[in-house]
């Protein structure tokens, strides 16, 4: 049996936790996101669905394509959700872009971060696309550079391979949870709650990461679903000590429970 003193402490601790907890992550409405395709065969077909428009399926096998938030400026936020390749056909690239600006997938001068994941090693264009999860800095994209990263014409330079999945491809019809934190000085990527990347601008030879949009990325891989997408604010590394208030009715309810306990004891 829990003593009054212990129950009072638990109630007070619960109240303080609620009073200092940030608002929960918000679902992302993808219906306003837009598409950029690299010119060439295939194109893309991004189909938004879900009751909250928080899911999108890309069905086409084609050249590099990005589906992104045109409002941009995603720094200081995190993006979470699920990713699934819903086919047993093909073995190519799925992933994300960070700090992306409209048109950069086909620009002579670009500056964004690419997180891409290939299922199997594959030679093409005179170079090899390697199995596994990688993070790269994109400066002058071409289909060849996207394919072989820095093993082919310059423009997509690998920063690192993933801690655990750097040489492991994604599996057909398997759902992976992801969480991406994006600030001017830090990028972290988790897959199934395992930290795969923790990258600073210095790792990429930069002073800071360029601001821009979050987006989803496919290259030569169809039937990829990004689902249950949510976005949250990344806590300030030196936060304001002032707690974030919760709805007053909830706080009053907890305080009432605490008061009732005191009255009962008396």
163-205 residue pLDDT tens: 999 999 999 999 999 999 999 999 999 999 999 999 999 999 9
In this predicted structure, what is the pLDDT of residue 247? 53
Lowest-pLDDT range, 108-112, 117-121, 244-248?
A: 244-248
Task: Give mean pLDDT, residues 64-89.
Answer: 97
Task: Return the closest-CA partner of residue 215 out of 87, 43, 60, 32.
Answer: 32
Q: Inform me whether the pLDDT recorded for 238 exceeds 60.
A: no
Contact between 106 and 39 under an 8 Å Cβ cutoff? The reply is yes
What per-residue confidence (pLDDT) applies to 21? 39
What is d(CA 51, CA 158) in angstroms, rounded to the nearest whole number?
37
In the chain the beta strands, taken as DSSP E runs, fall at: 26-27, 34-37, 46-49, 55-58, 65-68, 77-85, 93-100, 112-118, 122-124, 127-129, 132-138, 156-161, 175-182, 187-191, 194-199, 213-219, 224-233
Top-confidence residue, 59 or 252: 59
pLDDT tens for each residue of 12-42: 344 334 333 345 799 999 999 999 999 988 8
Rounded to the nearest 10 degrees, the angle between the axes of helix 248-265 and helix 4-19 is 170
Q: Residue 172 has what pLDDT? A: 98
In order of start, what are the domains of the chain with their CATH numbers? 25-244 (2.60.120.200)
* 77/84 Cα distance (integer angstroms): 23
């Amino acid at each position: 049996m829990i003593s009054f003193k212990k129950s009072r402490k638990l109630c007070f601790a619960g109240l303080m936790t609620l009073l200092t907890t940030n608002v929960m992550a918000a679902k992302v409405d993808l219906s306003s996101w837009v598409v950029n395709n690299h010119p060439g065969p295939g194109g893309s077909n991004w189909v938004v669905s879900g009751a909250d428009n928080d899911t999108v399926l890309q069905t086409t096998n084609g050249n590099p394509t990005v589906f992104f938030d045109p409002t941009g400026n995603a720094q200081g936020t995190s993006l979470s959700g699920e990713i699934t390749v819903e086919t047993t056909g093909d073995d190519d690239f799925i992933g994300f872009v960070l700090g992306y600006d409209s048109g950069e997938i086909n620009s002579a001068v670009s500056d964004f971060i690419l997180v891409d994941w290939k299922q199997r090693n594959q030679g093409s264009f005179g170079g090899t696309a390697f199995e596994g999860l990688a993070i790269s800095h994109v400066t002058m994209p071409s289909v060849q550079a996207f394919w072989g990263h820095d093993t082919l014409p310059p423009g997509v330079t690998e920063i690192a391979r993933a801690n655990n999945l750097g040489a492991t491809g994604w599996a057909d019809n398997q759902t992976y949870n992801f969480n991406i934190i994006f600030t001017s000085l830090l990028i972290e990527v988790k897959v199934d709650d395992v930290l795969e990347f923790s990258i600073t601008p210095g790792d990429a030879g930069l002073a800071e990461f360029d601001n821009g949009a979050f987006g989803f990325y496919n290259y030569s891989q169809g039937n990829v679903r990004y689902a249950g997408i949510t976005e949250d604010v990344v806590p300030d590394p030196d936060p304001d000590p002032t707690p974030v208030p919760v709805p007053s009715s909830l706080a009053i309810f907890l305080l009432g429970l605490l008061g009732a306990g005191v009255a009962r004891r008396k």
